[in-house]
Structure formats: C-alpha cells, structure tokens
Amino acid sequence: MPLNLMTRCEEFDVIVIGAGIAGLTTAKELSSKGLSVVVLEARDRIGGRLYTANIDGTPVDLGGAWIHGLGSPSCQNAIYSLALRCGFQVRTTDYDDAVFYDNFSHRMDTHSVNAMDRIFDEFAAFVAGLVARDPSTKSRLSVDAAVKMFERMRGGVSEVQRLQLLFQVHNHIESYWAGDSCNMALGTMDEVRLPGADVVIQGGYSQLISAIASGLDVRTGHVVKQVRWRPSSLNQDSKVKAVTCETAQHGSFRARRLVVTLPLGVLKSGAVSFDPPLASASPSKGLAIQRLGTGIYNKVLLLFERPFWDGHTMIHRVPSSAERGRWAWILNLQRVLGLPALVGFTHGTYATQLEARSDQEAAEDMLEALRKLYPGKVPQPVKVVCTRWGSDPHCRMSFTYIPVGSDTSDCDSLRQHLEGTLFFAGEATSRLFYGTVHGAYGSGLMAAQEVVSAALSDKLSWLNCAGEVIGAEEKVPGSGGGPFSDKHTLKTRPLAVSSRDVNALPEVSPQLSGLHSEDQLQEPSICMIATCASLQPVSKGALALASGLGAGAGGDIMVIQSSSSASLRMKGLLLSTSAGKKVGIDGEMTAAVNEPGRLPLGQAVPSWTFTLPHSAAPERSPLRARGPEKTLARGVSVDIPFLNQRAAVSERKCEDLPPYVSLLERNPVLGVQGRSLTPSRM
C-alpha cells in the first residue's frame, strides 16, 4: 500500500524537517508570525548534533559544546545573547592553561613550545604569501600540499620541526574542521571568527534547545523518507499543497512550503528522496552537496573515581605521523565542569576508524596514550562514553568543512531556496560560519525570513496586482547601445489586505501594534509592498516597507519604517501581470528620505528613481511596455527576500550585517597566535 494511503494527511503552512537548532529556530520564528508549523524529527529527542548527556549527575555536551567567540559588549554572538536572555550561566574555557608532551611523552618546556609556535607562524606567513600571489590556490591546493611546499622552500626541516609543524596543523586546522589536511582546501586557513573568548553553557546546550522548542509542534520519531514538491508558481490556489512529506511510521504531511535542515551527510547519502530531485531542480545545489566536506569528530569520555592528571585545562600530545588525529588534545573536565573525567578528541580518518571499535576498545586506546604521559598512575575508568557521529544514520557527520575543489560559494548554493517552495537551513548553509552553532542558528533565522517573504507574497495576492511602469528612457550619447538609465514612476492598483497580513511582516508588527481590527486598517489598504535589500548608509537589520495606506493614498509609495536618514535602496523590482506571470527586473530603486529616524506611519516618500543597469538591459527597454498584460522583463530572478542583507566582512560594522551577526573579526590567515590553541567546533 502506498505510504500516502496508510493514514490521513495532516496539513500545515510549513513543514520543517529536523529538530536541530536550525530547524527549531526556523519553526520558532515562523510560529511567531502566525504560520502553522510542524517539525519532523527522526530521533526520539530534539537537538540534533547538540546532545547533552547526564554523566554521574553532571550535564556534559557530547555534540557541539562551545559558544565560539562572544563578540563585544555591544555586538554579541547571537547564541551567547540568547543564553543570557534565557538566564543561563556560562564558563570561559582557558586554552592557554595547557600542558604539552612531545612524541616521546616528555613534557615540553617553554622554549620548545615557543619553537613550535614560531615554525607554525612561519608556515602561516608562507601561506599568506602564496594566496596573495595566486588566490586560486585557496580552493585548488590542500593544506598538506602547502606544508610540503613550505618544507621545500625552507630547504628542509628537522624531524622535530616536522612533527611540531604537523601537530600545529592538526591542532589548529584538522581538529577545528574535523577533516584530513590532505583533503582540506587551503582556504580553510582564511576563516571568519567572532572575537572574544569561547565559553560553555553550564548545564549544557540542551537547556537552550528546550527553550527554543517550547510551544512548538515537534514530532519525534518521524523518519522522513520522501519529499514530493512542486514550484509554488504552479499553485495559484492557496488551498493547493505544494509539498508532500512522507514518513516511514506516520504517513503524510502536506504544506505550502518545506524547510530542509537535514545535515549535509544525510543529503549526501540520499536517505531522503526528493521528487523532483534537488540536483535536477538546481544543478548548483547538487554540486554543492557533492563538493562540500563532511567532517568526523568524536569524543571518548573516561570517568574516574578521582583525578590523577595535571590540573591544566588542556593536555596536548605531539603525535607521530602514524598517529594523525589520535588524541592530539585531551580536555580536563575536572577543571571545566568539576567532573573527574577526561575527554579525548579524535578527528578525520582516525575518528572514522574508531567508530568501528567497541567502547572498551576505544577506551583502551586512549588509556594507552595516557599511560605514556602518566606512567604507573592511570587506573581503570568507572565509566566510558563514546560518540559515533559518522555512523549515526540521522547525521552521518559532525560538521562541514571545505575540501579541495570547493569554496564557501557552495554554502550559498546549498542555502538557496527552490521556487519559493523548498527552503534550506543548517550549519552547512552558512557561508561565514559553517560548522558552528551560531552559524546554524543564523541560517534558521534567514530561512524563516525567506519563508515569511514567500508566504506574504501569497497573502497579498501578487498575482492579482497589476503593475504599470511609465516614463522615458535615456541613453548615454555615443555609447553604441551601452550603459543607460531609465527614470520612471511606478504605479500599482490597490490590494485588499487585512491587519493580520500586515502584522505577519517580520520586524513590522511593533510599529503597527495599534492596528488590530479591520475597522482601524481600512481596505483597500496596501497598494504596493517593496523591500530594501540594503539601507544606506546603515541598516542594523531593520526592514523598510514601502506602501500606500488608506483610500487617499492614491497609489503613492510610502515608507512605514526606516532607520536611515539618507537614501533607501531597493535591489530589484517585482511586478506581476493579471495573466499570473511574476516578473523580476534587476536594477536599483532609490528614494530620498529627508527626515532622520523612523518615518511616521504613512508618510509619503515623494519619488523613487529606478535605474536599469546595462548588464540587464535588453535591446529594447522592457520598461517601455505599458499595461499589465505585457512581459516587462526577460525572466530575471524574482527572489527578493524581505531581509536579504548580505554581510560585507571587510569592515567591523554592526550595521550592515545579517540580523544574527553583530560583529565579525576576519583573520588574514589563521586566527591563532602563539599558544592560543583553538579547539574543535564540538
């Protein structure tokens, strides 16, 4: 019997697949906008790769554990801000509080540690010069290949220096990204990190997950097997469900839209089938899934009756070449959580191999390394806990890394929604912060904003809004058909909308809090909804909403909310014809705003200027067409999300960043100096 005939089909506005932090954040945001949302989670718990276990009465994070980079007092990491708002306490991890042992298990003195730092700094400078001369090396050269080039350039290195350099590469790069440096692209060393210390949440990440999930409709134990979808443009009747989601145990769920927050490892495996397939619907998305790397990072926790080790937070080993990825660093939980336990970290190929062993075999492997560091002092543990994220069928990975042949543009391709129907979130979709909890959280916020934009498009009946652009076109004399600009007036017909539709807009409902009933918001009310992809000079993530309100508006374009006292700029213009064809025109639409601060509700912007760039100009200006029945452009993208502000990371500015990022610190080569060793993502 077909799956969809087994049980009745439940219907929602939005389905979210996955109850990790990205999926729960998406669902929370959408629910707050009045949309009906269901979250389908394959496991019998929520959190995904954030998992807090109770070890002898102490909560210990066995998945993601750290908040990486607190930011500054005025511009904080969004996860840290959320933890503070929830009243959770955090504790800083002091990576400088470390002890080092060489490959002969001898404790290293300060001189040896400093020598190890110097050769890595020399290597980092070499890489910076290499990339400066040929930027393509960032994606086509592996970290291992760069190490070999460095050794040749230096005229050779001693065995001690080679092991020290390999240790630093393993600790700074492989351990942080959970991949093997022979596969990892050199561009991995040029990363974006938030400034400030790394902290752990006392009580574990599960508290934060529970807080986000509160009040949501989350269905655990629902293993999604198939997603059947059709573009929203094919479904003009709002009652037509564009997405069918079938689970192995619980039948079908249907919705207008679906948000996929499956880990990259699951997407690669094909465990969930899509009809039509993702690769055929978007070749770039298919390539991104294929090219991006799935890092494996595992922990082995050994609980003892009492500590026998050094009191330092971190215990570092300089392993031999054959021990690559094997217990390069060990975390002292007595120092961090007050628990007499050590956590050993493995990554890459060794972490994958360790997953095939039993817990006792993995423990014995770690005990063997500890006995070399503390001869005659290592007892048998009273408890052993091992993670196996790579063989977990519901994630098949730990976190994303960038391998040779890929770059962060693949994260963008993975994030792009398909036809206003399928949306994507998760750490792998974060161009700046892939592999981090705050990257996953931010991707959930962005996906929710895109869904709200698409849902609002439905509610405002774009297909019934006839747009007309009138005006004269101007060409630059002697340009031979080159760059030209058009200045036009945009007119629209009124739309009938309710206050509920307006209040569904992100960031707008506080400005319209007094409009709760139909008699307060007259119909027809909104003549045109336009969005600003960026507000100049600053935006602070605010939404600019251009519209005409009330019968006396006469179709003028007005601004409800703006935090800029300069000019508003809209990248792209969306019109529709009565025949049901959506038309997107690339260009730039600007309007002067003379009054500082937020404009009063309904204050008119006197004029907009729309400039069509040369790159988008056909032989005959599409804007010459009059009336709703004619095609106004050549099918340029109509994806204009309401808050689609992309971060420019060249400067430290809070204003121009996405709403989930406040301050970025870009490290030219590697964001570590001296002994400030950076831990993994988990």
In order along the chain (682 residues), what is the average pLDDT of each group of 10 residues?
Answer: 54 93 95 90 95 95 90 77 90 86 78 82 83 83 84 77 77 73 77 78 94 95 88 47 56 89 96 92 95 93 94 82 73 92 90 92 93 92 96 94 90 92 94 89 90 65 30 34 31 33 32 27 26 24 25 26 33 33 35 36 34 32 26 24 24 30 25 29 52
Residue type, 298: N
8 Å CB contact between 433 and 442: yes
8 Å CB contact between 252 and 228: no
Residue 205 confidence (pLDDT): 95
Residue 647 confidence (pLDDT): 23
How does strand 58-61 pair with strand 297-303? unpaired
Cβ-Cβ contacts under 8 Å for 681 (sequence gap 6 or more): 64, 66, 68, 176, 177, 178, 297, 398, 399, 435, 436
Q: How many helices (H) and strands (E) does the chain have?
A: 17, 33
Other beta carbons within 10 Å of 629: 11
Handedness of CA 552, 558, 563, 565 (dihedral sign): negative
* Per-residue CA distances from 93 to 75, 234, 312 (Å): 20, 52, 11
How does strand 251-260 pair with strand 10-17? parallel
Q: Nearest to residue 486, comparing CAs of 586, 379, 367?
A: 586
41 annotated ligand binder: yes
- φ and ψ at residue 207, rounded to 5 degrees: -60, -45
Tokens of 528: 């045109």
d(CA 225, CA 522): 46
d(CA 676, CA 682): 17
42 annotated ligand binder: yes
* Per-residue CA distances from 146 to 151, 428, 429, 551, 557 (Å): 9, 25, 27, 67, 56
List residues bridging with 64 in a β-sheet.
Answer: none
Q: Nearest to residue 176, comparing CAs of 333, 295, 334, 16?
A: 295
Residue 458 confidence (pLDDT): 55
8 Å CB contact between 211 and 194: no
8 Å CB contact between 453 and 638: no
d(CA 209, CA 222): 18
d(CA 31, CA 37): 6
**Order of strands, sheet of 582-592, starting from the edge strand that comes earlier in the sequence:** 534-536, 567-576, 582-592, 608-611
Other beta carbons within 10 Å of 83: 22
Residue 330 exposure: Cα atoms within 13 Å on the Cβ side: 28
- Kindly write down the DSSP assignment for every residue of 126-177, as one continuous string: HHHHHHHH-TTHHHHSBHHHHHHHHHHHTT---HHHHHHHHHHHIIIIIHHH
Tokens 């554990």 sit on residue: 65
- φ and ψ at residue 363, rounded to 5 degrees: -65, -40
End-to-end CA distance of the chain: 43
In terms of Cβ atoms closer than 10 Å to its own Cβ (0-12, 13-18, 19+), residue 284 is middle
224 annotated ligand binder: yes
* Per-residue CA distances from 520 to 64, 461, 524, 603 (Å): 48, 21, 12, 17
d(CA 229, CA 418): 10
Q: Is pTM beyond 0.85 here?
A: no
* Per-residue CA distances from 237 to 326, 465, 497, 574 (Å): 58, 15, 17, 20
How does strand 273-275 pair with strand 37-40? unpaired
